[in-house]
Structure 1
Amino acid sequence: MRAVGVLVVQHARGEGPYAIGEALAAAGLPVRLCRVWAGDPLPESLAGVEALVVMGGPAAAYRDDGFPTRRAELALLRRALAAEVPVLGVCLGAQLLAVAAGGAARTGSGPQVGWGDVRTSPAAARDPLLAGTPERLRVLHWHGDTMTLPDGAVPLASCERYPVQAFRVGGAAWGLQFHLEADKAAVDAFVAAFPAEAATAPGLREAAPEELAAPAPYRDLVFGRFAALVAARAGHTATRTFFTPKADSWETRFAADGPRYAQAVARLGLRPGQTALDLGCGTGRALPALRAQVGDKGAVLGVDVTSAMLLAAAREGRGGPAGLLLADCCQLPLPPGTVDGIFTAGLLDHLPDPAAALREWARVTVPGGALLLFHPSGRVERAARHGRPLSPDDPLGEPNLRPLLAGGGWRLECYEDATPYFLARAVRVG
């Protein structure tokens, strides 16, 4: 899955990312600029996109007139929210984010243009981006529309005339009505593009150097944190953008795999009363079989990093046999030595650091506990299906897997790479 970096949607020639782009570049994140004003096509999916930034512009978030990409942008924002892709919306972009999340945008009481204060909310003090910003923050306003926030959104800043100035939706999507990203070049571009609006704020350009200096440290703080969050979540973002749109049909596409999962789970050899993990559980096909092994007095936990997959598992009734946990399979929120057996299907060879994952899995497993690596097709068949040769560097190849397991605290006991399935069973040593 090839990363394309941060997708920045730009609606007007002069309304670029400015300080946002600088922060992303400083974090080593490539930016893919989509200039919809110049006819650049919006991507239909977020495959390979590490974050979505939607900038401002003169269009209205509440109507299609003069805004031919509005519906496509809303669809892209909804996909980003569903897959927990980091999002930053500025001005028009914030209004679109509110609409995509279930709120509404509407015309305001007239243009609010020029320098002015916003008041940060108590929630801002705990916000991943705005924590540490002052209670009163001097910013550049340039808008005439406003929005109603969706249920669950967290208000982060306001002012008397336009109460919604900053907000967060979920854990990774932010909207800023004001232009914290603006620098001197941005002010010049705004004034040139919208002279009538600029005329309502006399001295706006002349005051820019002094006005921009005051919020500069907080601007760098906020956008630096956003860039750091994007970089830190990149691996999970790629996984979620791949699996989220497939979650609803996953069970139907692979319905025939259920019996093979049950047969594989039987090879794990758990006893009643023990504790089992299914890592990267997806829709939870293995969970009922794991529950049958450990019985009513045992414990079963399905772990996945994609919310949509866990929701699909719950719809299939698999939240009954097991607890479902949204978590990183390489950083498990479990104490050492609490698990008797781990089942995982098609996960290890897709992780960025399989050696670190095996060490983490060993950490939470009791000595003598079992690890079962499974896939309902063999390595040769999978490679052929994807139109590629079998790589000698494949971590699931026995010459690679055996030392990889040993380095992580496991001893390989059984290795079977047949056409209809792949299975490797290891035991926790020490």
Structure 2
Amino acid sequence: MNREVLAVRHVYFEDLGSFERVLGERGRLVRYLDIGFARLHALNPVSASLMVILGGPINACDDARYPTLGPLAALIEKRIAAGLPTLGICLGAQLIARVLGARVYAAPQAEIGWSPLTLTDAGRASPARHLDGEATSMLHWHGDTFDLPQGATRLASTSVCENQAFAWGKHVLALQCHPEVRADRFEPWLIGHAAEIAHAGVDINALRADTARLGPRLEEQASRMFGEWLDAVDAPAHS
């Protein structure tokens, strides 16, 4: 089995977080591809066993100002078309929605901070059940949202954002929220997103305290979710 995981990273501190530990425990080898440095046109999107597209503070459709978005979307499209496991987080989820033909646009308000997810029936029947609001709170950090792509299954919502998580087939999972965050590595988020925090009027000390209090439980539940999803996408198809 191919053990390589390709993680597409837009800003250094929004990495795989707790998911990287799950991958390490399974002997999976992570290779980060840092946007802005990588030669996207030379990348083979189907060579890794898993591709994860991570978050970042740009709009998924702003190709005019961020010319890396078009080539990255093309890679994601090829990956999904090949039926290979693909996971998107925040901006990554928005890019997956874009590739699947859905509209990505500014949300009515920025959603930054901790609040629980409300799962759909499909979500409760999937690995996302570990992220249910009765089991853990969730970190949110986005100003954009998206329509549910045609053929996708909504898994979770919040009062601010109807499409917090969706599955497309067996091999694609998109998470608008941030289950991967690690409480012990959260301070760079507060530094790197200082302007966004101030613009949204978020109390930075309260956000730091909430993360210290709620983060460890989320790490446990998110690790369960991610591990179970990996089991499902790695399972051989039945003939």
* Residues 24, 227 of structure 1: 8 Å contact kept: no
Segments of structure 2 that go 5 or more residues without pairing to the other structure are none
Deviations 1:59-94 (A, max 9, x none): 111221332211111111111111111111000000
Deviations 1:243-285 (A, max 9, x none): xxxxxxxxxxxxxxxxxxxxxxxxxxxxxxxxxxxxxxxxxxx
- Of 223, 226, 229 in structure 2, the residue corresponding to residue 226 of structure 1 is 229
Say what the alpha-carbon RMSD is for the aligned residues: 2.0
**TM-score, L = length of structure 1:** 0.51
- Match of 1:130, SS? helix
Distance 2:77 2:184 in 1: 32
Q: Are positions 1:55 and 2:54 aligned together?
A: yes
**What corresponds to 1:201 in structure 2?**
202
**What corresponds to 1:107 in structure 2?**
106
Distance 2:197 2:218 in 1: 21
**What corresponds to 1:29 in structure 2?**
28
* Residues 27, 227 of structure 1: 8 Å contact kept: no
**What corresponds to 1:40 in structure 2?**
38
Residues 151 and 231 from structure 1, CA distance in 2 versus in 1: closer, same or farther, beyond 3 angstroms?
closer
1:69-218 alignment, distance < 5 Å: 69-127=68-126, 129-136=127-134, 137-199=136-198, 200-202=201-203, 203-218=206-221
Once superposed, which parts of structure 1, at least 4 consecutive aligned residues long, lie more than 6 Å away? Answer: none
Displacement of 1:48 after TM fit? 2.5
* Residues 7, 30 of structure 2: 8 Å contact kept: yes
**What corresponds to 1:261 in structure 2?**
none
**TM-score, L = length of structure 2:** 0.89
1:208 partner amino acid: T
Distance 1:40 1:229 in 2: 30
1:388-403 alignment, distance < 5 Å: none
**What corresponds to 1:14 in structure 2?**
13
- Match of 1:167, SS? strand
Deviations 1:175-198 (A, max 9, x none): 111110001244212101011333
1:201 partner amino acid: V
Tell me the matched-pair count.
233
Distance 2:46 2:194 in 1: 39
Distance 2:113 2:156 in 1: 17
**What corresponds to 1:315 in structure 2?**
none
* Residues 55, 89 of structure 2: 8 Å contact kept: yes
1:376-391 alignment, distance < 5 Å: none
Deviations 1:277-326 (A, max 9, x none): xxxxxxxxxxxxxxxxxxxxxxxxxxxxxxxxxxxxxxxxxxxxxxxxxx
Task: Identify the structure with bigger relative contact order (alpha carbons < 8 Å, sequence gap 6+).
Answer: 2
Segments of structure 1 that go 5 or more residues without pairing to the other structure are 234-327, 333-430
* Residues 181, 219 of structure 2: 8 Å contact kept: no
